[in-house]
Amino acid sequence: MQETKLKLLERIVDRRQDSLYRFAYFRTGSQADAEDIVQDVLLRLFHSDCNLDRIDDVERYLWRAIANRCCDYHRHRRNATLPTERAAALADDSGDQELREEYERIAGLLATLPEEQAEVIRLKTSDSLTFARIAELTGSTEATVKSRFRYGIGKLRKLINH
């Protein structure tokens, strides 16, 4: 059973590793933390007693698990550092100040949105997923996903223009 689980996870990782990582990176702003989160989720799933045959969509399950771990990451870090300290740490990590400033600006704008809207925008823009696939991953209808995207983008436009 572990071998079958390993093969299934390898297949998913081969196809989706970059997009899973980008998803975590876009939520954390840290390359190292994003890599740790994705690796941790994959290892936990592999070592768990969970029977993957009972999960309808293992890929969707992984996306949700990574999203949950990113929420845990933010919950634990929320009181640990101030946003300006975090931005300075991010800039030091990569050496590319402009890129980090742009990331912080985008992350700050997305943080003003309801999480459901921000998540749809992240998935659509960072991973170029279709609305249908985002609906599958989030467990929402396609119409709801489109609506969240439209309202979220509208709110972002207002923020940027003011």
For all residues of the chain together, what is the average pLDDT?
81
- Taking residues 81-88, report their average pLDDT: 50
For residue range 13-24, what is the model confidence (pLDDT) as tens digits? 888 888 888 888
Give 91: exposed, middle or buried? Use CB within 10 Å, 0-12, 13-18, 19+.
Answer: middle
Ranked by mean pLDDT, the top range of 30-34, 52-56, 146-150 is 146-150
For residue range 61-78, what is the model confidence (pLDDT) as tens digits? 888 889 888 878 777 665
The share of the chain scoring above pLDDT 90, in percent, equals 21
Per-residue model confidence (pLDDT) at position 87? 54
Give 23: exposed, middle or buried? Use CB within 10 Å, 0-12, 13-18, 19+.
Answer: buried
The share of the chain scoring above pLDDT 70, in percent, equals 85
Phi-psi region of 95 (alpha: psi -120 to 50; beta: other; left: phi over 0): left
- Taking residues 78-99, report their average pLDDT: 55
Per-residue model confidence (pLDDT) at position 79? 43
Per-residue model confidence (pLDDT) at position 106? 83
Residue 86 has pLDDT above 70, yes or no: no
- Rg (C-alpha) for the chain, rounded Å, is 17
CA distance 26 to 117: 14
pTM of the model: 0.59
Structure confidence at residue 39 as a pLDDT band (50, 70, 90): very high
